[in-house]
Amino acid sequence: MIQVDNLTKRYGPVEAIHDVSFSVDKGRIVGFLGPNGAGKSTTMKILSCFMPASGGTAKVAGYDVFSQSIEVRRRIGYLPENAPLYPDLSVASYLDFVAEIKGVGRAARRGRVADVMERCFITDMQKRLIGKLSKGYRQRVGLAQALLGDPEVLILDEPTIGLDPRQITEIRSLIRSLAGQHTVILSTHILPEVSMVCDGVIIIKDGRIVAQGTESDLVRRVFPAARIEVRVAGATGDVAGSLRALPGVVGVQPLASRDGAVGFLVEAERDRDVRPELVRLVTGKGWALQELHQVGMSLEEVFMHVIAGEQEPHEALAGEEAS
């Protein structure tokens, strides 16, 4: 549904994005992640025909964003980071205006506007002037306009920015409900949001794609060994050596002592759970087990690992598409 190949955007001598390539299958929701200035918004503006690229190709719903931009625009809903709204219009009037621009027929327009207002939880604000709304409500009006016309593809740049916790939960549920019916690519700084909403992940850094795939795939590729933190008190002898001798353990790293307990990061074969052996070892030695848990298993840790440059992205993480 979205196919991007070697996309590049230059501003004079500066490259905002360089050789960006990824694909998103029909009906999938993909999170587009990266630090500020990484190239997320630039890529989304190109996909939405808001600005041209300097090189490469991009297709949305089978249409080229450069040579067939009108066809692309008919098939997308776009929510930029700062939604362009008309403050002197009421919510209902604005959405009716947008629906008319998007070609929604007069007979269907009222029902369509009512539907998107209900889905975005702004029905009770329909008569309020947009200029009088809070930032959170303005954001929801922006999402409502993106949904008008029932687009095949939704491009959402920070869709939950400015919302309170309850509103964030509601909008996340709404976006998740779009899976299958719409193809969605969304940019966000909230990593748990991607875990809760998205089917796949694309990470961009310094204008280049450095990782893409499902969250579980990225976790496995960044952390090929399972990692377990263990802390014990009253330990004597070569604790690290005893841990290394356990079947399935491939590495042991000491951690800073805490509350009188020594700590170790135990790396083990991913398909083997060594925690029962760890418990038996500790109890058999008569040590006091204070802590035992897995680490390095979240998208946040993957993101920080990749963005910090601790991983060679093109060798380890860019081998599979996010679709």
71 falls within a domain: yes
State whether 117 and 230 are in the same domain.
Answer: no
State whether 192 and 245 are in the same domain.
Answer: no
For residue 253, what pLDDT is reported? Answer: 92
State whether 96 and 170 are in the same domain.
Answer: yes
State whether 71 and 180 are in the same domain.
Answer: yes
Per DSSP, the chain holds a count of helices (H) and strands (E) of: 12, 14
Q: Which two tokens stand for residue 271?
A: 């398909």
Q: Which two tokens stand for residue 245?
A: 């001798």
State whether 209 and 250 are in the same domain.
Answer: no
304 falls within a domain: no
Residues spanned by the domain of 45: 2-220
State whether 207 and 233 are in the same domain.
Answer: no
Average pLDDT taken over every residue of the chain: 89
198 falls within a domain: yes
Answer yes or no: is pLDDT of 319 > 80. no
Section 265-276 average pLDDT: 90
State whether 162 and 277 are in the same domain.
Answer: no
Long-range contacts of 101-105 (CB under 8 A, 24+ apart): 102/74, 102/148, 102/149, 103/74, 103/149, 104/148, 104/149
Which of 20, 59, 60 has its CA nearest to residue 211? Answer: 20
First-residue to last-residue Cα distance in the chain: 10
Which of 187, 220, 253 is the last residue before a domain boundary? 220
State whether 135 and 252 are in the same domain.
Answer: no
Identify the CATH number of the domain in which residue 104 sits. 3.40.50.300
Whole-model pTM: value is 0.79
Q: Compute CA distances 41 → 75, 260, 301, whole Å.
A: 19, 49, 23
State whether 286 and 187 are in the same domain.
Answer: no
Angle, helices 135-147 vs 165-177, to 10°: value is 10
309 falls within a domain: no
Distance CA 103, CA 144 (A): 16
* Strands 183-187 and 153-157, bridge-based pairing: parallel
Our count of domains for the chain comes to 2
How sure is the predictor about 135, in pLDDT bands with cuts at 50, 70 and 90?
Answer: confident
Burial class (CB in 10 A: 0-12, 13-18, 19+), 10: middle
State whether 31 and 173 are in the same domain.
Answer: yes
For residue 314, what pLDDT is reported? Answer: 42
For residue 313, what pLDDT is reported? Answer: 42
